[in-house]
Amino acid sequence: MVAAGSAARLFILSGPTAVGKGTVVGSLCATFPGEFYLSVSATTRDPRPGEVDGQSYFFMTNPQFEQLIESGGLLEWARVHGKNYYGTPADPVDEALRQGKPVLLEIDLAGARQVKAKRPDAHTIFLKPPSWEELVRRLQGRGTESSEEQLLRLNTARTELAAATEFDEIVVNDEVPATTAQLAKIMGLR
């Protein structure tokens, strides 16, 4: 349970591909501007159209990312879908927590497990689709991945869905406004 008015707390949002994490997080940022710190991850994947370096992600090369791992600058990192590196820069997270701001990490299952092991007080939230068929429909509908990439992501999604019970909370993302309200309640945002 989250204590009413709890401030400096680390929240982790995970969930399978195309479940709508980005949309829900965007909605949370728009509804509660400045009330929490949304971590900006580092990644070695290519930017998608419209993504801005330093806002969507810190886009970097493999050697740059490996340097960041070696220097201990990441709270967690993983190779997502067996391909690209993704990781959470540690300093901005700690700084926001020091300032008393709730922090939200939107990361994959492997990352969530690492953070929970390092920071057992982190509150983990799993975003679930209403059904498997709906997940497939959302992934195909957004059309940002090749069919080969879609298969890879759906494969990962099966493993992730099986791990949902490891999380402190499971939230079904049916309608974005309702999901946003549920997350805000969990994070103590008002």
Residues found near ligand 5GP in the complex (CB under 6 A): 41, 45, 76, 78, 80, 86-88, 106-108, 110-111
In the bound state with ligand 5GP, the residue whose beta carbon lies nearer, of 25 and 184, is 25
Q: Per the annotation, does 143 bind a ligand?
A: no
Q: Per the annotation, does 92 bind a ligand?
A: no
C-alpha span between 1 and 145 (Å, rounded) = 37
Cα distances (Å, whole numbers) of residue 159 to 92, 93, 108, 113, 163: 30, 28, 11, 14, 7
C-alpha span between 120 and 149 (Å, rounded) = 33
Q: Which of 24, 23, 16, 19 is nearest to 138 (CA)?
A: 19
Q: State how beta strands 84-89 and 103-106 pair.
A: unpaired
Q: Which residue is nearest to ligand 5GP (CB)?
A: 111
Q: Per the annotation, does 47 bind a ligand?
A: no
To ligand 5GP, the closest distance from the beta carbon of 4 in angstroms equals: 28
In the bound state with ligand 5GP, the residue whose beta carbon lies nearer, of 19 and 187, is 19
In the bound state with ligand 5GP, the residue whose beta carbon lies nearer, of 6 and 53, is 53
In the bound state with ligand 5GP, the residue whose beta carbon lies nearer, of 4 and 94, is 94
To ligand 5GP, the closest distance from the beta carbon of 45 in angstroms equals: 5
Q: Per the annotation, does 180 bind a ligand?
A: no
Angle at which helix 176-187 crosses helix 21-31, to 10 degrees, equals 60
Q: Per the annotation, does 141 bind a ligand?
A: no
To ligand 5GP, the closest distance from the beta carbon of 149 in angstroms equals: 10
Amino acid found at 16 = P
Per-residue DSSP letters for 50-71? T--BTTTBEE--HHHHHHHHHT
In the bound state with ligand 5GP, the residue whose beta carbon lies nearer, of 45 and 101, is 45
To ligand 5GP, the closest distance from the beta carbon of 13 in angstroms equals: 8
To ligand 5GP, the closest distance from the beta carbon of 51 in angstroms equals: 8
Cα distances (Å, whole numbers) of residue 161 to 24, 154, 172: 18, 10, 12
Q: Per the annotation, does 50 bind a ligand?
A: no
Query: What residues form the annotated binding site?
Result: 15-22
